[in-house]
Amino acid sequence: MNYTAAHQVALERFRAASLEAMARCSGFPLEGNALSVEFLGGHYYVDYPEGNFRLQASAEELPVFTQILILHYLTNLTESAATGQLISFKELPGGSIYIQPFTHRAIDPLVRSFGPEPDKLLEAAARLGGQANELGNVGVTLRVFPRVSVTLILWSADDEFPASGNILFDSSAASILPTEDYAVLASVVVGALKRRISSN
């Protein structure tokens, strides 16, 4: 997919926004004329107004679709608070229309990678600062952005059913990012978790 146009639109929104407002609403601190962004174990500076991403320490280079996702988060100038109520992708606006691509991009890879050995999900999530929860046979929650958490759940295979999984979001999610961004975000999170086990 060609992300050039979407990246340009995201950069224009970033350049038009107030740096101080983005820091306040995103929860990411300012360092000079840049936002200091922690994302899935990596540390980045997003320069203002250029929108360039500078890597720190052992951070991985971010593909353009992930940069777009972060720019969308930074330029959402609302201060929605988490409700603590979890919802599925289908419950996001228009989510039921895109549930098949979401399942293909995020849930199926989660189950394929971790279903046979669910405890590896706990290990991988811990490396990204995630916490175990009490959902499913194994569940973890990662705070991907200061105001956005992703909850991943696995149910182990038994004699009747194969392994299965789900990915949930706080019910405040729709006020922070558009629905399609949550499909990208979930896919990026699962990819980061998979890399943590493959690097063992």
Mean pLDDT across the chain: 94
Q: How confident is the model over 126-131, as a mean pLDDT?
A: 96
Q: Do 152 and 140 form a contact (C-beta atoms < 8 A)?
A: yes
Note the pLDDT of residue 79. Answer: 84
pLDDT band at residue 199 under the 50/70/90 scheme: low
Q: How confident is the model over 184-190, as a mean pLDDT?
A: 97
**Within the chain, which residue ranges are assigned CATH 3.30.310?**
86-198
Note the pLDDT of residue 144. Answer: 98
Number of H helices, E strands in the chain: 7, 8
Per DSSP, the three-state class of 61 is coil
Q: Is the pLDDT of residue 200 over 70?
A: no
Strand order of the β-sheet with 34-39 is 34-39, 42-47, 53-56
Q: How confident is the model over 40-55, as a mean pLDDT?
A: 95
Express as a percent the part of the chain with pLDDT over 70: 97
Sequence-ordered list of residues with C-beta below 8 angstroms from that of 83, at least 6 positions apart, any chain? 170, 171, 172
pLDDT band at residue 1 under the 50/70/90 scheme: low
pLDDT in tens, 55-102: 987 668 899 999 999 999 999 998 888 999 999 999 999 999 999 999
Cα 103 from Cα 149, distance rounded (Å): 18
Cα 87 from Cα 114, distance rounded (Å): 22
Domain 86-198: give its CATH code: 3.30.310
The rounded radius of gyration (Å) of the Cα atoms in the chain is 17
Note the pLDDT of residue 80. Answer: 86
Q: How confident is the model over 27-55, as a mean pLDDT?
A: 96
Q: Is the pLDDT of residue 192 over 90?
A: yes
Cα 82 from Cα 119, distance rounded (Å): 28
Q: Do 49 and 12 form a contact (C-beta atoms < 8 A)?
A: no
pTM of the full structure: 0.94
Distances (CA, A) of 14 to 17, 115, 170: 5, 39, 25
